[in-house]
Chains A and B, each alone.
Chain A
Amino acid sequence: MATAAEFAIGQSVVVERHVSLDDVDRFCELSGDTSAIHVDESAAHARNLDGRVAHGVLISSFVSAVIGTELPGDDGIMQSIQMNFRNPVIPPETLVIKAEIIGISAAVGQLTIRVEVRQKTDGTLAATGEVRSLVR
């Protein structure tokens, strides 16, 4: 079992994750969020979007996967996640997710992890966020 002392400020991981329209459809079914911009191409165009939009929370779930499997991985328990969605993600797209430790509280064993999600196609910033994870 890792402790906070085994992590370092600046420690980071970068993970790529492809998101497809099939992922969006499956997330609609799983979550029940069938808002028109996620399921209807014409409705998305009517909102000046280039196509159906991936749910922001779906993007957040990819961040959860990075936190849960990479940094800190198995030793962490996510305490909070805050995400800001900066630009819509229109699948198919590959997302580049960077997670970097920006704070460590040794006393309580908590890591503060800054998250940045960019579209691989053109580098557009899709989302930013901050995760707090307990590792003790």
Chain B
Amino acid sequence: MTNRLDEIRPIFAEVLGEAAEVITAETSATDVEGWDSFAHISIVVGVEEKYGVSFTTEDLGKLTCVGDFLDLLQQKLKANAA
């Protein structure tokens, strides 16, 4: 999980204009001023493109913090590998 967090931190950092070090699994839209709806779209697409996964509209409701992205990404990667 920690390695995966390190991998996706740069996506959040670039989109949100924050230093990668301040991005934790608990970081959410309520913690970061720049995490608005457009930034959220860029983060979703950034994760999709980096890992070759596709989220669904239903998935979006589950993605409220960085840890949510990590959890769902793990599920997607496991499903793709099966």
Please report the C-alpha to C-alpha distance between residue A23 and residue B48 in the assembled complex, in whole angstroms. 40
Interface residues of B, CB < 8 Å — how many? Answer: 14
Interfacial residues of chain B within 37-64, with CB under 8 A of chain A in the complex:
38, 40-42, 44-45, 48-49, 54-57, 59-60
Q: Does A110 contact B (CB under 8 A)?
A: yes
What is the size, in residues, of chain A's interface with B at 8 Å between Cβ atoms?
10
A110→B41 contact, CB < 8 A: yes
Nearest-Cβ distance from residue A66 to partner chain B, whole angstroms: 21
Q: In this complex, what residue of A is CB-closest to B60?
A: A107
Chain A residues lying within 8 Å of B44, measured Cβ to Cβ, are 105, 107-108
Q: Which residues of B contact A (CB under 8 A)?
A: 38, 40-42, 44-45, 48-49, 54-57, 59-60
Contact sample, A vs B, 18 pairs, CB 8 Å cutoff? A79-B38, A79-B41, A79-B42, A103-B45, A103-B49, A105-B48, A105-B54, A106-B54, A106-B56, A107-B44, A107-B54, A107-B55, A107-B60, A108-B44, A108-B45, A110-B45, A112-B45, A132-B45
